[in-house]
């Protein structure tokens, strides 16, 4: 056995300032996450300028906490990594600049990571037996993608959303229903008390054979339904609307994913991103995967949403392949998978 490889990883693409210390890619020594949700809640969504300011204020402190928790010093760190994109560019810049500063000052290697690769790699941390190739469904506030994961560092996009990401649809519908931000967990919870057949929202499957998605229409569908009911003087049952909305989007998502897994002969399905925390989705997929003899993997709640451990894991596999970055590494708002 060679020497352990220790990584310091930073994630700051949206509203979480997170720093992790990873051992050999898959073992978490520390995964500190400072969430700004309570601040952004006041505005009903993430305010980019405020996010950047808070990342800047707290990043060094979170690095110190992670080192302390992981019981390591800078001497023990082999390389530094950070999310390079996609995300809010001002927020990403704080993480990238911090990683570059530490890499330069401490003479360490630097590895920039694609945020979505990180979400997928979160699964390696918890499922020690998981290895590529597999089919991955990435569902977050910014992404809805079906991805063929060829190796630890090679990804092929099979389909994606043509408009809103699924998490975005959850957040928008939650706002319309007055449930607050972030809407995903709120709809997940309240839908449990509602009737998913109360209102029929249109299921948008797009052209036959397409692995793309469209979620923008359903928000208008929900709005029109609410306005219509109000005009008739009827009372709105929020739990019923939430359950009906959720059933409509998940039916499309689950049908497409399972069909493509069967067609491609994929035996492993891996979920990633914040929406992978959804309890109804996991229930539906567990049933369908069992029926089709597909093994289903998803991360625990903490590793589903944004965190630096997943970035450190993805960085480890790039590092092993010598895919390092120079000190001119830049933060990029839009970045191909």
Candidates 306, 309, 316, 329: give the one binding Zn ion (CB under 5 A).
306
Quickly list DSSP for 170-199.
HHHHHHHTT--SSHHHHHHHHHTTS-TTSS
Residue 185 binding target from Zn ion, ligand KG4, none, CB below 5 to 8 Å by type: ligand KG4
Please report where in the chains the tokens 């008739």 appear, as a residue: 232
Helix (H, G, I), strand (E, B), or coil: what is residue 257?
Answer: helix
Q: Which is nearer to ligand KG4, 59 or 173 (CB)?
A: 173
Distance CA 337, CA 248 (A): 27
Please choose which of ligand KG4, Zn ion, none residue 144 contacts, taking the beta carbon within 5 to 8 angstroms, the exact cut-off set by kind.
Answer: none
Tokens at 108, concatenated: 């360490």
* Contact between residue 106 and residue 74 where contact means Cβ atoms under 8 Å apart: yes
Q: Considering CB distances under 5 to 8 angstroms, the limit depending on partner class, which of Zn ion, ligand KG4, none binds residue 182?
A: ligand KG4
The option from ligand KG4, Zn ion, none interacting with 15 (CB < 5 to 8 A, set by class) reads: none
Nearer to ligand KG4, 6 or 33 (CB): 33
The gap from C-alpha 261 to its chain's centroid, in whole angstroms, comes to 21
Decide if residue 32 touches Zn ion (CB under 5 A): no
Question: Which option in ligand KG4, Zn ion, none does residue 171 bind, with CB closer than 5 to 8 A by kind?
Answer: ligand KG4
Of 13 and 81, nearer to ligand KG4 (C-beta) is 13
Which residue, among 258, 298, 297, has the nearest Cα to 274 in the 3D structure?
A: 298
Which of ligand KG4, Zn ion, none sits in contact with 11, Cβ below 5 to 8 A by type? none
- Count of beta carbons in the 10 Å neighbourhood of residue 128: 9
Of 119-148, binders to Zn ion (CB under 5 A) are 140
- Find, among 237, 249, 247, the residue nearest to 178 by Cα: 237
The least distance separating ligand KG4 from the CB of residue 78, rounded to whole angstroms, comes to: 27
Q: How far is the CB of 263 from Zn ion (least distance, A)?
A: 28
Closer to ligand KG4 by Cβ: residue 52 or 102: 52
Q: Which of 224, 215, 226 is nearest to 249 (CA)?
A: 215
Smallest gap from residue 184 Cβ to ligand KG4 (A): 2
Closest CA to 171 of 139, 146, 201: 139
Quick one: what does residue 188 bind among Zn ion, ligand KG4, none, with the CB cut-off 5 to 8 Å set by partner type? Answer: ligand KG4
Instruction: Give the 3-state secondary structure of residue 99.
Output: helix
Least distance between Zn ion and beta carbon 140 (Å)? 5
Question: Is the CB of 6 or the CB of 271 nearer to ligand KG4?
Answer: 271
Show the beta-strand stretches assigned E in the chain.
6-11, 16-23, 27-35, 79-85, 109-114, 134-139, 144-149, 155-160, 268-272, 295-297
* Residues contributing to the site for ligand KG4 (CB under 6 A): 14, 140-142, 167, 170-171, 182-185, 188, 273-275, 277-278, 305-306
Please identify, using beta-carbon distances, which residue of 108 and 256 lies nearer to ligand KG4.
Answer: 256
């Amino acid at each position: 056995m060679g020497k352990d490889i220790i990584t310091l990883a930073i994630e700051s693409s949206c509203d979480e300032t997170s720093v992790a210390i990873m051992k050999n890619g898959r073992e978490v020594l520390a995964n500190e996450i400072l969430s700004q949700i309570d601040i952004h809640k006041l505005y009903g969504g993430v305010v980019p300028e405020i996010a950047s300011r808070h990342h800047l204020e707290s990043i060094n402190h979170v690095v110190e906490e992670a080192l302390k928790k992981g019981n390591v010093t800078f001497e023990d760190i082999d390389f530094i990594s950070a999310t390079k994109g996609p995300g809010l560019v001002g927020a990403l810049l704080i993480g990238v600049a911090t990683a570059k500063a530490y890499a330069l000052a401490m003479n360490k290697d630097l590895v920039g990571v694609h945020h979505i690769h990180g979400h997928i790699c979160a699964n390696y941390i918890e499922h020690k037996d998981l290895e590529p190739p597999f089919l991955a469904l990435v569902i977050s506030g910014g992404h809805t993608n079906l991805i063929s994961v060829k190796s630890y560092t090679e990804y092929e996009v099979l389909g994606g959303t043509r408009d809103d990401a699924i998490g975005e649809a959850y957040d928008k519908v939650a706002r319309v229903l007055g449930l607050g931000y972030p809407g995903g967990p709120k709809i997940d919870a309240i839908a449990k008390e509602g009737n998913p057949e109360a209102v029929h929202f249109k299921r948008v499957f797009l052209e036959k054979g397409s692995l793309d998605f469209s979620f923008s229409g359903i928000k208008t569908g929900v709005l029109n339904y609410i306005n219509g009911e109000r005009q008739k003087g009827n009372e709105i049952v929020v739990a019923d609307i939430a359950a009906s909305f959720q059933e409509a989007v998940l039916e499309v998502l689950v049908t497409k994913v399972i069909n493509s897994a069967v067609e491609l002969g994929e035996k492993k399905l891996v979920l990633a991103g914040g929406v992978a925390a959804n309890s109804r989705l996991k229930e539906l997929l567990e049933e369908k995967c069992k029926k089709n003899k597909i093994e289903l993997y998803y991360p625990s709640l903490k590793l589903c949403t944004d965190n630096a451990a997943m970035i450190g894991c993805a960085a480890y596999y790039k590092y092993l392949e010598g895919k390092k970055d120079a000190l001119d590494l830049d933060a990029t708002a839009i970045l191909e998978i």
